[in-house]
Each structure stands twice: as C-alpha cells, then as structure tokens.
Chain A
C-alpha cells in the first residue's frame, strides 16, 4: 500500500488530521490499532472548554481553548450541546483563587459573569447549599465520538483510507528515512506494509511506544483519568469546581446523563488503564460537596482515559505538566519523515491537527492552506447514533412495529443497527458488538449489555454478519469490556443487576467455560 501520509492513531487528533490533509488534497492512510477514539479521545468528559479551567495554570492553553471552543461551536454545532457552564466554590475553597478568577478569565478573553448564589441554585437546583461563589462561563458539552467519526467520514469521502484493528509491527528505515511500515490486522493476523512519504505518530498516550519503535525517544507520562456516568442528567450546565484544577471537580451533562470526574493516576503502561474502586471511592466525597445528589444517584458506568503528558522537566504532579500539545520533529534524532503530535486537549484537537498538517505539507511541498479553520464539519450518518435520546425519538416517530428494538434500555431498533453494520461493512470492517456499542447507545443503559448483547448476537447471525462460533467470542469480548466500566461501581442495586447477568451468562450459558 502506498500513500503520501500515513497517520498512526484514530483519536481526535488523528481523525482531525486526516480531514485537514484530505481538504488540502493530500492522500492519506490512517491506521488505528483498536477503534476510533479508543484512547483518551473517547475516555474524557466530553467537555468543550471555555478555557476557564486553565486560567490558574496555563494562560496560553486557556486562550487556545477559548478560540477553539468557539470555533467548534460554530463549525460543528451538531456535535455540541451549548449548555454554558458554571464555576462554583463551596465553603472551605481557596478564597484567593476565587478573588482572581474573573480577572484572569477576562485576561484570556473568556466571557465570565458573576452569578448571585441564589440565582445559581435556581439555575442548577442540585448545587450544594454551601456555595460561596459562582461564575458563568461559555463551557459546553461535546460528543467526542461524533466529532471523530464525522471528521473521519469527511476525510474518507475525500479519499482517505482507514484501517481499523491494525497495528504497527515494525518501521523499516533506510538512512534517515522510514522506508516502509509493517502493519498487521489484529483480527485476521494478515500482515502487509505501507510505504508513505511522511508518517505522523498521533497515538496519544502510546506516542512514546510508537516513537521508540521508530528509534526516536520522547518521554510521555501516562496519567489515567477515571469518570463515572450517572443514570440521570443532574444539571443543565457544565459544573466546574472553582478552584485550582484538581481531581473530582467537573460534572458535564451529556444528553440524558451526566459525567462526573476525574482522577489522575500515573500509569507505566497505557494498556493497563481501567477505572478502579479506589479512584471512585476517593472521588465521590469531593463531588458530593459540590453536588450532594451524587451521594444517592445511581451510576451506570465508569471509564478511564489516559492523558498523554509530554514531560519537559521531572515532576511528580501530573497537573503541573503542560496540557498544551507537543509537535515533535524527529529530524534531530536522524529520522526525516516522522512527526509526533501528542498531548493537548479534546477542545484543541483541530488546532493540533492544523499545526501538524502545516508541518507535513511544508515537507511535502503542498501549498494548500488549512480549511478546517473555516469550513463547517459535515454531519454524517456514521456519527449520529451516539446521541442519547435520538434513536427513541426516531423510533417513536416512525411507528413501525416490525422494527424491533434490539436494545430496550436505550431503545435502539433493528433499523439503526442495520444502518451501523452497513456503515462498518462499507468501511471494510466486520461489525462487532463492541463497535456497535461505540457507534450507538447499545449496552449503555441499566442492563449494561446483559440482554441486548444476546439480542444483537442473534440478529448479527440472522443477517449473516457472524458465522461459526464467532458469536461466543463476541459475547465474551463485549461482556468483559462492559465489565471494566461496571466493576468499580458495584454496590446497591447494581450488584443485583450484575448477579442477574452472571446467572444468565454463566449460570445458564456457561460463557466462562468457553475457551478464549
């Protein structure tokens, strides 16, 4: 396979870069070892920052967030719920930080407005009665899956080729250039090679590993952040704790649910990331101080993302390492056609892609200017089913009783599942339960996949998408994957749900006895 640019990594940056380059007429291949947004791009709050969170640590990052946040709201409104945000402090929080907050926001051009405490509680009734300060800022909620899927779909429409479940096995160098990249499909085991003029390492927390394979050395710190999803939406707006950025201080609404987090736990290997009981137990008291309802609400799922932090000086506090991004040219290490882009934030993904594309184009001698700065992001079918509440709405409107619901908790009908499988097949993939889960609300309701996994598997066989005993492995993989998110949140009613799931999948079906 031959191309101008090989992009490694299908997160927000990689998919954003694919679109940016495609718009400039550059031919690209994107390889992703798992699926779109499998890393930090999917494992975050979905918070479109106004920048206010960073006014205490990094004014440049705050300004970048403000500009890029405004741009995404304008160019990709279908990915954004423009909720607005509140920064609130409760009794005991740092008064000096509160006193400086508004002025520092203004310094970065962030529209900030002091809110009367009584009004704040009227705007957000679940806020603590112990509020001592509240400010409104233009934070918003963004769907990172939709964003990446739409970026990728637009790139693909312009000729970009995408290889999922495909990882790099070796870089073959000749002199100062990477001549050929060996890759392997992790599903089929098939191996092949890609010849590219330029190679971009956009693998987030894995950037250090990939760079090392190419013979380059960058130090990427891996900081796990865990988040939990509540069964119901707890606020209209994004709620931030008004204090120096810390753990457990953000609650973001996402459709019918809310997402609370996060943590920062250093990991040696990003592949070992998963939310833990200890993180949840440490996080809850802080959240309860801000939004007391968190003490009694039911949680649906926990997940974790790994932030790639590029280290400049040795440090023990992950939050003091810059959240700004790093664009690393490996020429100094003797590789002329290899670039790493990592770090940064979801909110600034487009800017990261633009800067990277500029560098790549400079090397390729392409003079076309960046279009993502002004061109609206087209909404495509591949991203649309991740929106909570969308499929039930359409299903009710359509009133077709023979369109059976395959996921009853989130009301995902057969027609939607078929549309998604057709999409995956059109992209050259084989639809799996996990991918269906990533592209829709399937498995994200209270049953956590216990029942819908069975209905989906049966349906995929009937549609000819599964054969032989692939269904057993699909079920095992899907249930184990869902479990990662449920496991730290098992107390109360969720334990009974887990027991029912185990009685069914182990007691009756014996899926634990199937050899993996």
Chain B
C-alpha cells in the first residue's frame, strides 16, 4: 500500500526553479502571497551568472547594442508578439532592479552601468554584451574598456580555460595582456580540476593567501588580474577583496565553460534564502501533473517519480523552461508542452526547425517556438482565447523570442515573471 500523500494549499504555485521561476517566487512572496515552488534546478547550473537584457538586435544583422533601451524600443515596434513588447521599459527596469537588489541583500551583489550594456570578456576571447554582472566580474569589463595592463591567469588542470587563448585572440585590440599559469589552490594533485572544487577550497581563508602568493610573482606592472570564475561559492566578494588587498591590483573573474559555478552560486543563494521568506519549496522535485479543479484553482502532484505531495493552488505560474528544462517536449511529429499539453506555437514541420548552419546569424526557427500569451502572460490558444485565467507562463517557454541570439534570457525571465505576479496580485 502506498503511504497517504500530504495535501497542502497555497495561493500561488510556481513550477520551475530556473531564473524565471526564482524571480516569480521572489516577487510573489514579497507581495505577500503564499507561495509554493517546485522544480529541478538543473538548468540554472548552466547559467553564466550574468544578466542579459538585450545585447544584440536585430540578430540577423549581428548588431551588438550598447544601449539596450533603444534596442528594446525598436524590438517592441518590429515584433508586437515578443514578450518584451508586452512590457513597458520602466517595468523591465524595475523587475531587474528588484532582482539585483535582493541578490545584493543575500550576499551576491550585482553591478553594471545604470542604463547601458557592459562588455564582458569570455574565455574564448569574445566580448559579450550584458546588463548586470556579479561584482566579481566588474573589474574585467573596466579593464577591457580601458585596455589596461592586465594579467590573465589560468590553472593547471582546469580544461577549456586558456589565458594564452584569450590574450592571443584579443592581442590585436588589447596588446597589454599578459598570461601566467599557476597551480590551483589546495594540495597539488594531478588530474583534472573542476571549478566547484577549486571554489570550495577558496572558501577557506588560509588557502587564499597561498593562492595570492602563487600569482604575485607574475604581476609586474599589471593593474588588473583576470582569473577563471572559481573564487568561492558563498563568499565571493570577500575572496575578491582579500586577493585585491594582498596583490594590490583589481581582480576579476571570467566565466568558465560548464560545469561552472556561476550558476551554482545563484542556485545556492535562492535555494537557501527563499524558504526563509516563507516559500514552501520543493527543490529537486518535479511537478508530475497539474489538473485544473472544477471548483477553480489547480491540483498538483509533486514528487521524484511517485507523488509525494499534493498541492492545491489558486493560481499557477509555469516557468518550466524550454527543451533543456523539459517544459517543451520535441517529438518527431511536433513540439508539445509537457504538463498541460498547452497549444505550442511552432514551425509547421520538423524540417523547418533548424537552419542549415548552426551559427546562422538569424538563429533557428525552433527557438521562437513556445507558448503564446496575452498581456498578462496567460497562455492563449491559436485564436487568442485565454486557456485558464489563473494560469500564467513566464520565461524561456514563451514564444516569439530567441533569448540566445538576442542575449536577453534573464531580462525576459525576470520581466515576464514580474508582470505575471502583478496581474495575479491585481486579480
């Protein structure tokens, strides 16, 4: 016999624990709603940690934008179905501010230019436009903008991160880049080094001095030192400050390839702090099914494989992501929404999903597939009917946007989450 499952009630159930789900939960709980949240945090661990608003527009012209707000105005004009077109610029700015203020309060401070995009140095030597970045990465953008004398450091055993690669790739525009390779912090052991392991080592104060001592001989006249993003998981600002103090230079982190810790920091911060605000959290659990109840509201079954918890919710926010997050299921015969089989806007046939070249500037049609919504971010049918007036969808599952090519993932996630929560509270 199965053990009887628990039953609970909440005003709002947020399904999904990526950036959109976390933002929706945060905004709702701050508005005083009784919130439950469930979902795998799988996708967040791939996050770069930087918050894009709109970095490239239009993508087919490969236009990198310094002023995201001007780009947004053009986008809203040209693409009335885009999620951003359903939001006022002030709403988008406000949502982004709310999120970064909160992260600052819980020890993961973000920074950036008040209104403009910032360029972030990547480990392949490109300069990514982004809007808000962890303060541990800020000095890198400064150094890149000034082309200041700078030392890039890589670690023995940390694969896919080569200081020499970055310096060579950027040499024509940034001649004052130098490189060094040092042993990763901690006891010298052969074999691969992983960012998470190195970062946990640096959480220990004594290890930071030894690490600084290993870097010191290479500094010469450098005013900045760039390191892979391994400077702790919980105490990054403190570690950066301590290294800067020892080495008398500005320190910055450069995002690494997966498995990275930039996403892990966000995951850990949200997962440890949202429950303390009263969120009934089911992280690492999936919502197995959602049924609209005849009395209004929804009945949700939560568990790993079998139902372990039943939640009755007045309102549901779907923040289940796209293919990687398993919000959308791509079968050979078409794309389906995973939980409620909601109508999915998509290309007519599978042979239209992808362009012939992976790096085709216009991107892939499948990236713009997803849920169509109204101005309150409620899913609608192809003829524009609201599916359920207590059901909302936010984040990357939304149709008519390509966050990867326009560099707008977190912006869309956070702004749509904010708008949906406003609509829920107003109802």
Contact = CB atoms under 8 A, between A and B. Distances in A.
B405 interface: yes
A281 B192 CA distance: 41
Nearest to B128: A510
B323 A475 contact: no
Contact of A472 (B125, B157, B164): B125
Given A458-B162, A468-B169, A491-B330, A480 B358 contact: yes
Contact of A469 (B168, B354, B358): B168
A289 interface: no
B359 to A, nearest CB: 4
A489 to B, nearest CB: 10
Given A402-B191, A451-B160, A495 B323 contact: yes
B162 A461 contact: yes
A401 to B, nearest CB: 4
B407 to A, nearest CB: 7
A507 B257 CA distance: 12
A274 interface: yes
Contacts of A454: 123-124, 160, 257
Interface in A480-504: 480, 482-484, 487, 490-492, 495-496, 498-504
Contacts of B157: 402, 404
Contact of A278 (B46, B126, B351): B351
B359 A458 contact: no
A405 interface: yes
Given A455-B159, A499-B324, A277 B350 contact: yes
B301 to A, nearest CB: 23
B34 interface: no
Contact of B160 (A281, A458, A491, A495): A458
B348 interface: no
B interface: dominant SS: loop
Contact of B126 (A406, A498, A513): A513
A305 B157 CA distance: 39
B165 interface: yes
A330 to B, nearest CB: 37
A209 B372 CA distance: 51
Contacts of A426: none
A293 interface: no
B73 to A, nearest CB: 21
B351 A277 contact: yes
B113 interface: no
A471 interface: yes
User: What range describes how many residues of A lie at the interface?
Assistant: 35 or more
B84 interface: no
Interface in B213-258: 255, 257-258
Contacts of A515: 62
Nearest to A467: B168
B160 A511 contact: no
A99 interface: no
A457 B366 CA distance: 29
B46 A500 contact: yes
Given A492-B330, A495-B323, A513-B126, A507 B191 contact: no
A504 B164 CA distance: 21
B387 interface: no
Contacts of A511: 124, 126, 359
Interface in A278-324: 278, 281
Given A504-B46, A504-B258, A487 B126 contact: no
A459 interface: yes
A404 B350 CA distance: 39
A457 B161 CA distance: 9
Interface in B353-412: 353-354, 356-361, 363-364, 366-367, 403-405, 407, 409
Nearest to A457: B165
Nearest to B362: A512
Given A406-B159, A468-B169, A479-B359, A513 B62 contact: yes
Contacts of A468: 168-169, 171-172
Contacts of B169: 468-469, 471-472
Interface in A441-486: 451, 454-455, 457-459, 461-462, 466-469, 471-472, 475-476, 479-480, 482-484
B153 to A, nearest CB: 13
Contacts of A501: 358
Contacts of A513: 56, 62, 64, 126, 361
Nearest to A501: B358
A250 to B, nearest CB: 22
A498 B324 CA distance: 9
Contact of A492 (B255, B331, B367, B409): B331
B124 A457 contact: yes
Contacts of A479: 358-359
Contacts of A510: 56, 64, 122, 126, 128, 407
Interface string B147-167: 000000000010111101100
A487 B356 contact: yes
Nearest to A475: B124
B324 A514 contact: no
Contacts of B322: 499
Contacts of A492: 330-332
A401 B324 contact: no
B48 interface: yes
Contacts of B162: 457-459, 461-462
A190 interface: no
B404 A404 contact: no
Interface in B317-339: 322-324, 326, 330-332
B168 A458 contact: no
A508 B255 contact: yes
A491 B350 contact: yes
Given A466-B168, A487-B354, A491-B350, A404 B124 contact: no
A125 B202 CA distance: 53
A461 B165 CA distance: 5
A78 B367 CA distance: 45
Contacts of B46: 500, 503-504
A480 B357 contact: yes
Contacts of B161: 458
Given A459-B159, A495-B366, 11 more contacts: A277-B351, A402-B157, A454-B160, A462-B164, A466-B165, A468-B171, A469-B172, A498-B323, A506-B359, A507-B403, A512-B359
8 contacts: A406-B159, A454-B257, A458-B160, A469-B169, A490-B366, A491-B332, A504-B46, A508-B122
Closest 10 CB pairs of A and B: A483-B358, A458-B162, A401-B191, A461-B165, A277-B351, A402-B190, A495-B330, A507-B404, A401-B190, A512-B359
Interface of B: 46, 48, 56, 59, 62, 64, 122-126, 128, 157, 159-162, 164-165, 168-172, 189-192, 255, 257-258, 322-324, 326, 330-332, 350-351, 353-354, 356-361, 363-364, 366-367, 403-405, 407, 409
